[in-house]
Amino acid sequence: MTEGPATLNKMDSVTENPSTTRFREYLRIQSVQPQPDYDGIVRFLFKMADEIGLEKKTLEFSPGRTIVILTWRGTQPQLKSVILNSHTDVVPVFEEFWTYPPFAAHKDKDGNIYARGAQDMKSVTIQYIEAIRQIKSEGQQFPRTIHLTMVPDEEIGGQMGMELFVKHPEFHALNPGITLDEGLANPRDEFSVFYGEKCMWWITIHCRGDPGHGSRFIENTAAAKLHSVITSFLDFREKEKKRLESNSGLTLGDVTTVNLTKVNGGVSCNVIPTEMSVTFDIRIPPTVDLKEFELQIESWCREAGEQITIEYHQKLMNQKMTTPEDSDPWWKAFSDPCKEMGLELKAEIFPASTDSYFIRTAGYDALGFSPMNNTPILLHDHNEYLNEDTFLRGIKIYTHIIGSLASVLSLAGEQ
């Protein structure tokens, strides 16, 4: 636990792959919510841009939330571009549960690199950069421009990051064709690639009822209504869980998840409260009719009684997907090099949410992909790690994918 960054640098500088060294340097920048070191991120990424020879700029649509854009111009810059997106913030840590300090980027004898952000998603940022470093060193050029966009605040919803960015002329000026963004590790041989996302609904149900003394059988209480609402939601949750477990062809992205996250109410142990509330986190697949699902929620509330209101904190409604078929030129350009490398792809709906949602909502195609197979899913977990060999292999994978996407011939509507 006492090994620090300086010691690690000295020990590894002779034998470590330079790409790994840069990965670990990036991991040590504490861009952790709620006070990410975005200035440190900018300095590091600008240094990488200068080393490789990329154009660089920053944007700031909300104070302190810096967007970094690194650009490699194509030979036909009028064509739609390839965007390599990643977020720069990471979630908080509970250091007492970590074997190694979560921002030391410790590498153990098996090559596992432990750090917050190792999977989510600083690895992907460096893999993009190192893939382009290698491609440029070989003297290759492509017709399409490649933009690397590194955005803030994804881990707290993206409202001050990508959601603002896609609404701004600066984003549309990038002339997006296809965007790659984060995916998930896959504990099996397959590589997960995500072509759509669930709609995230965060809702609070407020139940009002008659108050009274805690010694009496008061009728029409807020608690009784709350009990009915919770039962309806959790019964539905159990049905979806069983549907997933009984069908091996389904993934978590194919079913609706419901989780109770907060219960509030009451002022004293002996006073029956006038109001109680319950909050749910709901993630709805793009195959579900959202209007019908909303009506179902309203029906559960009516069944619980009167004086019940629904408050939506988050209610995403866009269900746009990127076609995971060879008829789509972007999918074909992504999947063909994967097939040539012998990678088995598993096309899925993302079970949670990423910045890709905002990109698709703005009308552009996006695929979520993190080249990590045979790797446990550890995003947001204690002892998050990524193996060095997996990381380095991911760079090679991206060199082929990026080159293929940036070489897509002129499409309909392009000149």
Catalogue the active-site residues: 89, 154
Q: How many angstroms separate the CA atoms of 330 and 145, rounded? A: 15
Lookup: tokens for 359: 């990109």
Contacts 24+ apart (CB under 8 A), 262-268: 262/204, 263/226, 265/222, 265/223, 265/226
Task: Report d(CA 264, CA 276) in Å as an integer.
Answer: 6
Residues in the chain: 415
Contacts of 168 (CB under 8 A, 6+ apart): 59, 61
Contact 251, 348 (CB under 8 A): yes
CA-angle at 102, arms to 101 and 107, nearest 5° = 75
**For 154, phi and psi rounded to 5 degrees?**
-60, -35
| Distance, first Cα to last Cα, the chain | 58
From CA 234, how far away is CA 216, in angstroms rounded?
28
- Residue type (1 letter), 69: I
Sign for the CA dihedral angle at 56, 154, 406, 191 comes to positive
> For residue 198, what is the DSSP state?
P
Q: Three-class SS of residue 411?
A: coil
Residues 6+ apart with CB under 8 A from 287: 254, 349
8 A C-beta contact, residue 338 and residue 401: yes
Give bridge partners of residue 311 from the DSSP assignment.
204
Q: What CA–CA distance (Å, rounded) separates 26 from 48?
A: 11
Q: Distance between CA 305 and CA 313 in Å, rounded? A: 22
Beta bridge partners of 386: 113
Q: Which residues pair with 280 in a beta bridge?
A: 203, 260
User: Two tokens at 407?
Assistant: 């070489």
Cis, peptide link before residue 376, omega less than 30° from 0:
no
